Amino acid sequence: MSARYRDGVLILFVAGILAFNYPLLALFDKPSALLGIPLLVLYLYGLWLLLVIVLAVWLWAAARDRSGHD
In a domain, 70, yes or no: no
The whole-number average pLDDT for the span 2-16 is 91
Count: domains in the chain:
1
Residues in a beta bridge with 38: 33
In a domain, 27, yes or no: yes
Residues in a beta bridge with 34: 37
Domain limits for position 35: 3-65
Which residues lie closer than 8 Å to 32 by C-beta, 6 or more apart? Answer: 38, 39
Band (pLDDT 50/70/90 cuts) for residue 2 is confident
What is this structure's pTM?
A: 0.84
Q: Mind listing the pLDDT tens digit for each residue in 13-70?
A: 999 999 999 999 999 999 999 999 999 999 999 999 999 999 999 999 988 888 876 5
The pLDDT value recorded for residue 15 is: 96
Secondary structure class of 36 (helix, strand, coil): coil
Cα–Cα dist 33/39, whole Å: 5
